[in-house]
Structure 1
Amino acid sequence: MQFFKVKTVEETFALIDEKIPAIKQTEVRELSEALHYILASPVAAKENVPSFDRSTVDGYAVRAKDTYGSSESMPGFLTIAGEVKMGEVPTAEVTQGKVVYVPTGGMLPKGSDSVIMIEHCEDVDTLLNTYKQIAPGENVIRAGEDITEGEILLESGTKLRPQELGALASLGVTHVTVFKKLTVGYLSSGDEIVPYQTETLREGHIRDINYLTIAGLANEWNVDVLYGGIVRDDFMEFQSRAKALYDQVDCLILSGGSSVGAKDYTTDVIQSLGEPGVFVHGISIKPGKPTILALADGKPVIGLPGHPASAMIIFKLFGERILRHLKGEKCERKPERIFAKITKNIPSSMGRADFIRVRLFEKEGEWWAEPIIGKSGLITTLVKSDGIVEIHSEKEGVSQGESVPVIPSR
């Protein structure tokens, strides 16, 4: 295998989509405990939602044709025959020339086909003056108009956000079958790396902050993280520790040791974990070129650069997509982006995608992105940034005032 034959960003995404499988393990969870899990089987509606014709406004249930010709200058006159109470089946019926008051969400009485809003009429001693004509079906939701019995409401692979939970609850669903929660393993490597709790650093040592930033992102994506600690630049120890952690998790993340160097054993360690092994060894991207992606006996392995900003950007771009596939989530959507105008010219090299950290601010009703210039190892660039601007590989940069896509940090 030839290593460091870099892939483009697009090629890397395509390889991830092609190679990363969904886990097979599922579980049944109570609906209130299923937020952010991924459906493992489709859910069909067992009933209509709503189950009855209902009003979307406070007003009067009518036959629409009885309002025809009504206007402010020439009102219509109808008789109020009763009212509908919430949660009750109407006893009054709408017939020619008669109306029934109905609150928002109330059941439509028999004989009516629409509701005139209370703002467009006036009750004068049980005589209703109508000042607007309405069409059949206006201000009404029909039974099954929202969800039809037998309809597939949610497909397998759907992420359960609050709105999906609400839709399921409306059908009386109390339990769902979901893919189990992922656990990823994280292992730092390097003789210079020490625990982040270290109070006093010896000269040449660096605290292991990447564990907290990468684990924090994984937790935001509803993924548990098992910390494997820090391993020295010793091949046998690195291989042993990586294998032990790999056996306990669904995905292994290795930080540091992915560049070309005498002590960088990451590639060999990953190759030893299982087949088919490394499928990306270097990406045409800045920062983060020395990135390794692999599949070892069905488990993804991610080799991140050691620099904090590079590691976060790579994990946000590619790690999230890998984990989404692994969780069984449908991945048609691209990472969330907003558009903002760039505050200054930024040069870029053709053939390489650049990701620039920016601060977002609003000016005269428009979003602007101010580049935070700094080397990939500078931690303060992470703290100051609200997102990253993507400069595509086919561009030679962006010009001041140009609208650019921004991937938010949140």
Structure 2
Amino acid sequence: MQFFKVKTVEETFALIEEKIPKIREVLVCNLEEALHCILAEPVVAAEDVPGFDRSTVDGYAVFSKDTYGSSESMPGFLNVAGEVKMGEEASIPLSRGNAIYVPTGGMLPPGSDSVLMIEHCEEIGGLLNTYKQIAPGENVIRAGEDIQAGEVLLEVGTKLRPQEIGALASLGISKVSVFRPIKAAYLSTGDEIVPYDTETLEIGQIRDINYLTVSGLAREWGVEVIYGGITTDDYEIFSAKARELYEQADILILSGGSSVGAKDYTTEVIQSLGDPGVFVHGISIKPGKPTILAVAEGKPVIGLPGHPASAMIIFRLFGEKVIKQLQGERLERKPERILARITKNIASAPGRSDYIRVRLVEKDGEWWADPIIGKSGLITTLVKSDGIVEIVSEKEGISQGEYVPVLASK
């Protein structure tokens, strides 16, 4: 048999990138409907975010120099010269020796360079006692510090997660150009397979749970799934049903019948759908060796093993990559939850759990978590991150090279 010459996992991934075409049909959709869609055009910022210098805490806008030497035992003193209300312009400049109250997100008065948190000061009769010295720029986000006008914020092929949607909304963008969402058709095969809701099984029958697990994964990835039901091990019936589903969808998924048994017609059926046909028939992997990947007249076809565990593992490994390639998403193999090594020392206050945004980088065959340093109010730290590292409250930080658990972003 010319088929069933197994490929390695690495060869299979390379063949998917080489063989699977990309859908190039573009549509414009409203931002609130764009979740999980794939960008078809780069997004260039037309304005700065934020558009003005603002405070990240409730506190008092000050000149940082005016707080130098302040402590609990020897506080400094400043005159309270007013307040900035939320949503209003701060038009009165701050002068040395004075402080102006600013709420979180409020505009910084002209001239001020930092904000002293209310926890570190106390106003008494128009006089502000300062109990901590702060540095220039502390508790402040400058205009354009998050996003700068002219910056390419998102590249073509970016999947729009909630954080990307938020970044686009911050720029006032209400519509985006995306690649058309894809449809997948699913068909189970085998004389022994019966609907999953069958109450009483006859001897030898197996409930069709693969439909629920495989289609559930596809839906998690933003793919609409058409269920074709169950077909028997009859070539004519199987072929006709596969052709019907193939013509309704962008990708056809078949479960069962991918081994070399006499009644396994999956390869023949896939070949009948169109050229160039099968390019992988068997992968050097356990479980899941009898896996088929093909392209028929520009449409991917996946033949999954019938065993439920194998089908789910194979579809998560290779089906997701096929779907991402098809819908034009940038291909990056990054796991959902892993142990990675931290690239630098990170301090943490004992008694508090800290969550650090990180970028995952593969070096020398292992994952490294590179912290994204930025103020908590910056939207782009979410966009740039691949996941989050938790520093538990019992620890006082983590050291460079230490292994840490990373919860990766979808």
Q: TM-score range by the shorter chain?
A: 0.7 to 0.9
Alignment of 1:144-223 (within 5 A): 144-223=144-223
Contact 1:92 1:100 in 2 (8 A): no
CA contact (8 A) 1:90 1:108 kept: yes
SS at match of 2:82: strand
SS at match of 1:316: helix
Letter in 2 for 1:106: G
* Pair 1:85-2:47 in alignment: no
Q: What residue identity is the alignment partner of 2:234?
A: D
Alpha-carbon distance, 1:327 to partner: 1.8
Alignment-derived partner of residue 291 in structure 1 = 291
The whole-number CA distance in structure 1 between the counterparts of 2:276 and 2:207 is: 33
The alignment's C-alpha RMSD in Å is 2.5
Partner of 1:397: none
Query: Alpha-carbon deviation of 1:207?
Result: 3.0
Distance change in 2, residues 1:120/1:200 (3 Å): closer
Task: Give 1:407 deviation, angstroms.
Answer: 11
Instruction: Quote how far apart the aligned CAs of 1:200 are.
Output: 4.3
Q: For the structure 1 residues 260 and 221, does the alpha-carbon distance in structure 2 shift closer, same or farther, using more than 3 Å as the test? A: same
Q: Where does residue 373 of structure 1 map in the other structure?
A: none
CA 1:337/1:130 → structure 2, altered by over 3 Å: closer, same or farther?
closer
Give SS of 2:112's match.
coil
Q: Deviations over 1:81-107 (max 9, x none)?
A: 111111111243211222211111110
Corresponding letter in the other structure for 2:177: T
When residues 336 and 81 of structure 1 are mapped into structure 2, their CA distance, relative to the original with a 3 A threshold, is same
1:142 aligns with 2:142: yes
Q: 1:262 to 1:69 in 2, by over 3 A?
A: same
Take 1:182 and 1:97, find their aligned partners in 2: how far apart are those partners? Answer: 62
Structure 1 unmatched runs, 5+? 341-364, 366-402
Letter matched to residue 50 of structure 1: P
Separation of aligned partners in 2, 1:338 and 1:299: 33
Structure 1 residue 297, shift from structure 2 partner? 1.9
Q: 1:83 to 1:407 in 2, by over 3 A?
A: closer
Query: What are the equivalent positions in structure 2 for 1:18-167 lying under 5 Å apart?
Result: 18-167=18-167
SS at match of 2:178: strand
Task: Determine the C-alpha separation between the residues in 2 that align with 1:133 and 1:339.
Answer: 38
For the residues of structure 2 that align with 1:240 and 1:312, how far apart are their CA atoms? 26
Q: What secondary structure does 2:109 align onto? A: coil
By how many angstroms is 1:338 displaced? 3.1
* Native 8 Å contact 1:83 1:92 kept in 2: no
- Note the 1:227-266 alignment, pairs <5 A: 227-266=227-266
Structure 2: segments with no counterpart, 5+ residues: 341-391, 393-402
CA shift digits 1:309-360 (9 cap, x unpaired): 21111111111111122122112132323359xxxxxxxxxxxxxxxxxxxx
Give the distance between the partners of 2:269 and 2:258, measured in 1 at CA.
11
Moved over 6 A (4+): 405-408
Tell me how far apart the structure 2 counterparts of residues 73 and 210 of structure 1 sit (CA, whole Å). 68
One-letter code aligned to 1:324: K
CA distance in 2, matches of 1:134, 1:193: 69
The aligned amino acid for 2:208 is D
Q: Secondary structure at the match of 1:159?
A: coil
SS state of the match for residue 294, structure 1?
Answer: strand
Structure 1 position 150, deviation (Å) = 1.5
Instruction: Name which of structure 1's ranges 212-221 and 44-53 shifts more when overlaid on structure 2.
Output: 212-221
> 1:308 — aligned with what?
308
- The offset of 1:21, in angstroms, is 2.5
What is the letter of the counterpart of residue 158 of structure 2?
Answer: T
1:243 aligned partner, one-letter code = R
- The CA deviation at 1:187 is 1.7
Identity of matched residues, %: 73
1:9 correspondence with 2:9: yes
Q: Is the 8 A contact 1:93 1:100 kept in 2?
A: no
Give the direction of change, closer, same or farther, for the CA distance of 1:150–1:208 in structure 2 (3 Å limit). same
Corresponding position of 1:269: 269
In the TM superposition, what is the alpha-carbon distance from 1:199 to its structure 2 partner?
4.3
Give SS of 1:286's match: coil
Partner Cα distance (1:218, 1:128) in 2: 58
Within 5 Å, which residues of 2 pair with 1:358-397? Answer: none
Q: Note the C-alpha offset of 1:259.
A: 0.5
What residue number does 1:318 align with? Answer: 318
* Deviation digits for residues 334-388 of structure 1 (CA, Å, limit 9, x no counterpart): 2323359xxxxxxxxxxxxxxxxxxxxxxxx9xxxxxxxxxxxxxxxxxxxxxxx
